[in-house]
C-alpha cells in the first residue's frame, strides 16, 4: 500500500525528539539544533530527512552511548501531539495501542508496530524501515518509550515478561534491565516486548469517550488535509504555484520555503517540476505580483502602502522599484493616468 504522506513525518515527532534532547545534557550546548518554533503546528508535515539527520546528529555528538534508552524513559507531555492525546483517552491499554498503531504512519511512516494477541500474552513487535538508516538508538528509544508510555497510561508499574532485540548486545546492556526487566534477548529475529494479556484489558484512568471522539475526528481531518496536499504536490504545475502565491501573498507567506513546506516537498523537487515548464519560483512570484499590482492599484480605496503589503513587500520602496521595472513608469504616474482615464467627460 502506498502511504499518502510517505517520506514525511508529523511535526510533533520532531518536536518530541527536540524537547527530549533539551531535557538531558547529553550533547554540547554548542551543537546547533533545529529551531523548535518550526515544529509547533500539529497540522504540519516535515520532510522525513529532517528527523533522520537529527538522529544522526545526536548519535555523533552524544556523550552518553545509551541515550536511546534514556530518551525512551522520558515521556514528553508538552509535545506528545494529537495522536498522543488521542490514545490517552482510550478505554483500555489494548484499545490505546491499537489506536496508536492505526495512526502511526501519520507520525512516522517508517516505523511499524504490530500487536499479536495469543489469548495469554500480548506481543508488541517493532521495526523501522532499514533503508532510511535510522540509528540503533531510535529502536532503543521506541521500545523503551512504549513501556514507559504504558506505565504512564496505567498510572502504575507495568511488568514485561521478556524483551528481544534484533541487534547485537551493546556494552551497556545491563541498563536495559531498568525498563525491560531481567529477561533480555539480543541478536533476535525481531524487536519484541511481551506482556500478560490481562494487563491490556484493564481500563485506563484517563478514559473519556467524548474527548476521544473529538480528537479522533480532528486527527482524521488533519490526515485528509495531508492527503489532499500530497496529491497536489504530486502534480505540481506553475498554475498551482501561482494559485498558492495569490493565497499567501496577503499573509506575507509567499516564499519558496513556506510553499514547499505547505506541499511537503523539498526546494529541489519544486525546482525540477517548474524547470520542466521552463520557469522558476522567482519568475512566477514576480509575474503574479506584476499582474496583481494593476488590479489593486485600480481600486481607488487601496492606498499604495496597502497595495505594497498585499503584494508581500516589507518596504514600500521595494514595490516602487519593482513597478518601474514592470511598467517603465512610477506608481504615482500610473495612478495619475488612471485618474484622467476614469474622469467623466463634461
**Quick one: which H or E segment has residue 123?**
strand 121-128
For the record, the C-alpha cell of 102 comes out as: 492505526
pLDDT of 341: 67
- Greater confidence (25 vs 115) lies with 115
Give the pLDDT band of residue 234 (cuts 50, 70, 90): low
pLDDT tens column, 245-269: 988 888 888 998 888 877 777 788 8
pLDDT tens column, 264-276: 777 888 888 888 8
Distance CA(33)–CA(57), nearest Å, equals: 9
Residues 6+ apart with CB under 8 A from 166: 139, 187, 188, 189, 190, 191
- Match 511481551 to its residue by C-alpha cell: 194
Closest CA to 55 of 34, 40, 39, 79: 34
Is it the case that residue 159 has pLDDT exceeding 90? yes
pLDDT of 116: 95
- Greater confidence (230 vs 320) lies with 320
99 neighbors 82 (Cβ within 8 angstroms): no
pLDDT of 1: 32
Instruction: Quote the mean pLDDT of the chain.
Output: 88
Is it the case that residue 53 has pLDDT exceeding 70? yes
37 neighbors 57 (Cβ within 8 angstroms): no
83 neighbors 12 (Cβ within 8 angstroms): yes
For the record, the C-alpha cell of 141 comes out as: 528509544
For residue 196, the SS3 value is strand
- Match 504490530 to its residue by C-alpha cell: 114
- Greater confidence (273 vs 78) lies with 273
For the record, the C-alpha cell of 332 comes out as: 504615482
pLDDT of 79: 47
Give the pLDDT band of residue 3 (cuts 50, 70, 90): very low
pLDDT tens column, 86-104: 999 999 999 999 999 999 9
pLDDT tens column, 12-50: 889 889 988 988 888 988 888 888 888 887 777 888 889
Amino acid at each position: 500500500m502506498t502511504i499518502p504522506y510517505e517520506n514525511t513525518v508529523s511535526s510533533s515527532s520532531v518536536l518530541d525528539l527536540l524537547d527530549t534532547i533539551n531535557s538531558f545534557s547529553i550533547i554540547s550546548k554548542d551543537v546547533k539544533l533545529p529551531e523548535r518554533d518550526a515544529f509547533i503546528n500539529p497540522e504540519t508535515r516535515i520532510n522525513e530527512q529532517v528527523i533522520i539527520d537529527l538522529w544522526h546528529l545526536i548519535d555523533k555528538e552524544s556523550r552518553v552511548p545509551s541515550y536511546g534508552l534514556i530518551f525512551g524513559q522520558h515521556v514528553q507531555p508538552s509535545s506528545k501531539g494529537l495522536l498522543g492525546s488521542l490514545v490517552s483517552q482510550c478505554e483500555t491499554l489494548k484499545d490505546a495501542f491499537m489506536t496508536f498503531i492505526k495512526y502511526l504512519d501519520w507520525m512516522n511512516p517508517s516505523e511499524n508496530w504490530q500487536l499479536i494477541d495469543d489469548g495469554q500474552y500480548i506481543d508488541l513487535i517493532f521495526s523501522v524501515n532499514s533503508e532510511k538508516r535510522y540509528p540503533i538508538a531510535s529502536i532503543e528509544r521506541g521500545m523503551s518509550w512504549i513501556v514507559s508510555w504504558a506505565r504512564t497510561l496505567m498510572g502504575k508499574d507495568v511488568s514485561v515478561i521478556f524483551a528481544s532485540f534484533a541487534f547485537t548486545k551493546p556494552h551497556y546492556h545491563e541498563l536495559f534491565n531498568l525498563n525491560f526487566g531481567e529477561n533480555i534477548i539480543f541478536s533476535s529475529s525481531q524487536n519484541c516486548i511481551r506482556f500478560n494479556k490481562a494487563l491490556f484489558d484493564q481500563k485506563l484512568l484517563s478514559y473519556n469517550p467524548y474527548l476521544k471522539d473529538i480528537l479522533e475526528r480532528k486527527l482524521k481531518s488533519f490526515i485528509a488535509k495531508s492527503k489532499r496536499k500530497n496529491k497536489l504536490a504530486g502534480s505540481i504545475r506553475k498554475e498551482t504555484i501561482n494559485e498558492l502565491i495569490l493565497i499567501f501573498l496577503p499573509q506575507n507567506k509567499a516564499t519558496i520555503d513556506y510553499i514547499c513546506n505547505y506541499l511537503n516537498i523539498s526546494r529541489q523537487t519544486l525546482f525540477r517540476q517548474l524547470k520542466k515548464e521552463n520557469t522558476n519560483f522567482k519568475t512566477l512570484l514576480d509575474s503574479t505580483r506584476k499582474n496583481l499590482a494593476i488590479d489593486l492599484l485600480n481600486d481607488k480605496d487601496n492606498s499604495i502602502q496597502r497595495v505594497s503589503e498585499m503584494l508581500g513587500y516589507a518596504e514600500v520602496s521595494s514595490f516602487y522599484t519593482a513597478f518601474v521595472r514592470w511598467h517603465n513608469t512610477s506608481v504615482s504616474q500610473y495612478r495619475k493616468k488612471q485618474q484622467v482615464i476614469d474622469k467623466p467627460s463634461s
